[in-house]
Structure 1
Amino acid sequence: MKRYKDLAPSLRTIMTPGPVEADPRVLRAMATPVLGQFDPEFTDIMNETMDMIRETFKTANHNAFPVDGTSRSGLEAALVSLIEPDDKVLVPIYGRFGHLLVEIAERCGAQVATMEQEWGKVFDPEQVIDRIKREKPAIVAMVHGETSTGRMQPLAEIGHACRDLDVLFVVDAVATIGGTDVRTDEWMIDAAIGGTQKCLSVPAGMAPLTFNERAEAKIRARKSIERGLRDPNAPAAAFGRVIRSNYLDLGQLQDYWSPSRLNHHTEATSMLYALREGLRIVLEEGLEERFARHKKHEEALVAGIEAMGLSLFGDPGCKLPVVTCVTIPDGISGDSVIRMLLREFSVEIASSFGPLKGQIWRIGSMGYSCSQRNVLHVLSALEAVLIRHKAAIVPGRAVQAALDIYLKGNDAYE
C-alpha cells in the first residue's frame, strides 16, 4: 500500500490578488473544537458573524450571512435567486469578472445586455446611467474592484440612479471588502457579495453577502410561487419563475440564518470560525485604519516599482488600492519571472487574463499579506530576478524608494 507523507506545505510570501496569506489567528480559530450546528454556543457564533458582516459592509440590512463556498458561490446565489427567466440584466464590463457575471446571468435565463470599457479603465457613471435608462433592466450587476485589471469602479451615482429607476443593483465586492471602502447602504446597493480569500485573510470557502428588503421582496415572491406549485392546477408558466438552485437559494438560506434555524444544510463549522475571526480582526483594527494601512503599503509598493524603472498599467485615477498592475518590459518572459520568484525567493505574484495575459504582472497587497515586510521582500526579489533576466531596470532604488515612504517623518535613523 502506498504511504503518504505528512502534509507540509512550503511557506510563501503570497502577493497575488488572491488567495493571500491567512492570518495565523484565523488558522488557530479553525483548529478549535467543532460544535453541532444547533448548539446554542454555535448559533451565538452565527449571530455574531452576521453582526460583523453588517458592520464590515456598512449596512443595516437584516439579511447578512455567508454562503458556504468560494466567492463565486455568493455571486451565483445572489444572481440565481434574483434573476427570473427573461429578466433583462445589464452588466457593464471592464475586466475578466464582468464576463463572469454575464455567464452566470445567462445561465439563469436572463436577457443580458452588456457595455464594455477598455481594460485598464472604468466607466464614467453617467455612461452606465444613460444605458440603464435606455435598456430599462430589472437588474444591474457590476464589479466594484476588478482584480484582472487593477481598477475600481465608482458606484455611488450608479446605485442612486438604480434606486430612482427601481432597478436592483447587485455588486461584486469580493476584492474590496475589508481592504477599501464599501458603503452598501450609502451607495444604495441592493445586494453585495464579498469573499474570504482576499482582504479578509481567511482561506477560500465562504462568501459573506448582504441584501436589503428590495431584493428580499423579489426572492420571497419567487419562493411563494414555488410553494404554490404544490397545487396540481398551478399554471405551467409559473414553473419558470422558481429559484432553480436548492443549495444557493437565498430564500432558504435566509430561513436557515433566521432565529427559526430552518434546516437547509450542515454549516461549515470550521470555516465559520475562520470567517468570524477574520471579521473580528478587521473590526478590531478599525475599518478606516485598515483602509489607510492598505493605502500606505500600496504607496510604498508603487514608489518602489516606479523607482526600478518599471511602468504601471492602467488609468491611475481609478486604481484599485489592493492590486498593482505592472507592465512587463519588452523582451522579458513574464512567466519566467514568476517562476523564478517562486522557486528562488518563495514569492508569488500573478499574471493576468485575456488580452492582458503576458502583458502585465499583478501584485496584490491584501489583508495579512499587506505589510512592510512583504512589500520590501517582493521589491527586492523582483529586482534581483529582473537583473538575472537582463531587464533594463534601475538597480538599487526600489527598496530605498519604498523606505522613503515608510520612514517619512521618522527621525530614528537620522
Structure 2
Amino acid sequence: MADAPRDGGPLPGARADIDPDFFGYRSLLDPDEQALLAGLRAWLTGNVAPIADDYWSRSEFPHQLIPELAELDVMGLSIDLADRKARRRLLSGFVGLEFARIDASFASFYGVHSGLAMGSIAQCGSDEQRERWLPAMRHLDQVGAFGLTEPHGGSDVAGGLETTARRDGDEWVLDGAKRWIGNGTFADLVVVWAKDVTDGSDGGVRGFVVEKDMPGFSSAKMENKMALRITQNADLTLDGVRVPEANRLQHADSFDDTNSILRSTRGSVAWSAVGVMTAVYEIAVQYAKDRVQFGRPIGANQLVQDLLARILGNLTASLGMAVRGAQLQDDGVFHDEQGALAKSFCTSRLRECVGWAREILGGNGILLEYGIARPFNDAEALYSYEGTREINTLIVGRSITGLSAFT
C-alpha cells in the first residue's frame, strides 16, 4: 500500500500500518473469527472504499455489490440456523465495526437487515417463519427492513404508535405510515410494528412481515439528507394492506417484544460508532505524519498529538464498552440500560472525534477525498437514531435512581 503524498493529498482506503486497537481487544477473537474479519476487511477495502464517496455524493446505494457481499456469509451471524450455528455477539460486533470503518451507510444496511429485520424474525417468529424467511435473508436473496418510527412518533413511539392492525378473518388490515426506514426503498420485506385495534381498543403492539408487492404498500425515498446518504431511508405508506395471519410474528404481542430487538441493536450502534472512530483515527494519524507545514510533519506538534491522543482515548473507551456489552449479550444478561449507555456514550464520543479529526485536517477536512467529511456528517445520524442521547440517558437514569423521569 502506497503512503499518502507528502503534500497531504488524498489518503489510501486502508491503513494497515496504524493500529487503532491500543489495548488489543481483537485478541479476544479466535483465529477463525479473525480470519473471517480479515476477509471482510479486504472485501470492503477493495469494493466499497473506492466508490463510497461517489455513491454518498449521489445519494445512491451500490446494489451491484449485494451478490458479492452475500458470498461472505456474514448476515445474521448471531442467529441459530439449520446449517449454521450462532456465532458470538463479539464476532458480529467486530463485523459491524468493519462495515462502519469503511462506510457508516453500509454499516446501516448491514445493521437494519441483519440485526433489526432478521433479529425480529429470529426472536419473535415461529419456527415455520424462521425457516421461511431467514435462509433467504442470510444469503441476501431477500433484503429486509424494519418499520417502527413514524412521521409523528420517534422518541415517544412506545406509547404513541399510530399505525394500526385490525384482524379480519385470516388476515390483518394495516393502515398507517412509517418514516426513516433504512433499506425501505428496495427491501423485499419489512417488519412493521402496529397497534392491534381489532376490538376497538388497544390490544398491544404486534409485528408483521409486509412483503413489497402487497397491494396498498408503497415507499418513497427521503431526499436531501446530510448524513448516511448511501442509506436509502424511505417513507412507507400502508393503506389497507392485507397481511395473512401467517405473516404475523407469532411471538410479538407487546412493545416489550419490540424493545427486546432494540436492546440488542443499540449495542450494534455502539459498534458502528467505534468503527467510524477507527476510520477517523487512522485517517488523522496518517495525515499528521504526512502533512508537512513549516518544514516538518504536523504530527510533530504538541497540539496535534493532543488531539490524536483524545481521539484514541475515546475510541479505546468506546471499544471496551462495546466488547463488554457483546460479552454480556453472549451470557444472556444484557439489560436495556446497558445498551442505552453504550449507544449514547459511544455516539457522543464519536461526535467529538470527528470534530477533532476535521480540525487536524484543517481545510482539507471538508473535502470528501480526504476521508473525514463523510464520517463527520454521518456521525450526526448515529448520534440520533435508535434513541436520542437524551432518551437513552433517561433509561440509564431510571436504572440509577429507580425513578422515571419520562413524561
Which TM-score applies when normalising by structure 1? Answer: 0.23
Rg comparison, structure with higher value: 1
Which TM-score applies when normalising by structure 2? Answer: 0.24
Higher helix share goes to which structure?
2
Q: RCO greater where, 1 or 2, for CA within 8 Å and sep 6 or more? A: 1
